[in-house]
Amino acid sequence: MESVLELKDVSYAYPGHNAPAIEALSVGFPAHSFTAIVGPSGGGKSTVLKLLAGLIPPQTGEMHTDGRISMVFQSGALLPWKTAEENVALGLMNAGFSEHEQFAKARAALGEVGMAQFARELPRDLSGGQRQRVGIARALVTDPDILLMDEPFSALDVETAERLHREVLSLWQRRSLTVILVSHSLEEAVLLAQSVLVMKAGSLKKFVPVTLPYPRHLETRTMHIANEIRLLIHERDRV
Ligand code: ADP
Ligand code: MG
């Protein structure tokens, strides 16, 4: 299948650091696929998303992207002095829409994540799950083809995270998105993604396809796959 995002032999070292955060990474993401990236902290997961989002440039290698990209951050990353709809409308800044159009689109995006009635609320009056819904609405308002998510559910309680899992799966299918989710929960990765990339020390260590049908639940098969990945992550690198 054709990739909408592709990295070829990409390396990246942060300014002032000798050790590269990403080293000679090659990976492609097929159109309309759902991929999870997992691995130990510091392994380069967020750096890969930043490269894909164009927030930092590859220093070596090539990158190819085809489509509009949006990013969802941990816990929404909302401006505290702006209402939900103002935060979502920020996603459209510089897109050339009138203020009226911006707010109409913002309200439609809030409606899509079940937040229409909270459009005028400030972030401090919303729950963690509601704030993350606003963060997702802000990503959707530009009508993206590709949704990048960096640990978007890790600050939420289990029940709220599960509800948002179902909604993200439904958005993925309804909008035919290509989704790349960074997660520190292997169970979450296996419940949501069609393939799980295991990253360690800036390299791709393993590609694990997950072919189970949706909706998935935590049961023997999903827990088995998550545990296999856990063993891979904790396995000491052989010298
Ligand atoms: P992960 O998301 O898997 O935890 P990161 O991509 O954030 O990993 O980090 C990869 C490596 O790059 C780590 O060694 C980390 O310390 C380093 N790093 C990340 N962000 C920065 C930064 N802004 N400046 C310098 N080093 C960074
Ligand atoms: Mg990270």
More confident residue, 113 or 93: 113
For the segment 154-182, the average pLDDT, to the nearest whole number, is 95
Which residues have C-beta under 5 Å from ligand 2, the single-atom ion? 45-46
Q: Candidates 10, 11, 12, 17: which one to mutate for ligand 1, based on the most atoms within 8 Å of Cβ?
A: 17
Look at residue 1 in the predicted model and tell me its pLDDT: 67
* CATH code of the domain containing 42: 3.40.50.300
| Pocket of ligand 1, beta carbon within 6 A | 14, 17, 21, 39, 41-47
List pLDDT tens digits, range 223-235. 999 999 999 999 8
List pLDDT tens digits, range 93-106. 888 899 999 999 99
139 domain residue, yes or no:
no
Residue 237 has pLDDT above 70, yes or no: no
Look at residue 238 in the predicted model and tell me its pLDDT: 55
Atom of ligand 1 at shortest distance to CA of 16?
Answer: 25
157 domain residue, yes or no:
no
Identity of the amino acid at 145: D
Q: Distance from the CA of 21 to the center of ligand 2, in angstroms?
A: 11
Q: Distance from the CA of 88 to the center of ligand 2, in angstroms?
A: 23
**Tally of domains in the chain:** 1
42 domain residue, yes or no:
yes
pTM: 0.95
147 domain residue, yes or no:
no
Atom of ligand 1 at shortest distance to CA of 47?
Answer: 6
98 domain residue, yes or no:
no
76 domain residue, yes or no:
no
- Domain holding 198, by residue range, is 1-67+186-239
- Given a contact cutoff of 8 angstroms between Cβ atoms, the answer to whether 62 and 5 are in contact is no
159 domain residue, yes or no:
no
Residue 172 has pLDDT above 70, yes or no: yes
39-to-31, 42, 44, 189 alpha-carbon distances in Å? 23, 8, 8, 11
Q: Distance from the CA of 45 to the center of ligand 2, in angstroms?
A: 5
Query: What 3 state SS string does the chain have?
Result: CCEEEEEEEEEECCCCCCCCCEEEEEEEEECCCEEEEECCCCCCHHHHHHHHCCCCCCCEEEEEECCCEEEECHHHCCCCCCCHHHHHHHCCCCCCCCHHHHHHHHHHHHHHCCCHHHCCCCHHHCCHHHHHHHHHHHHHCCCCCEEEEECCCCCCCHHHHHHHHHHHHHHHHHHCCEEEEECCCHHHHHHHCCEEEEEECCEEEEEEECCCCCCCCCCHHHHHHHHHHHHHHHCCCCC
Atom of ligand 1 at shortest distance to CA of 150?
Answer: 2
145 domain residue, yes or no:
no
Task: Give the closest residue (by CA) to ligand 1 atom 23.
Answer: 14
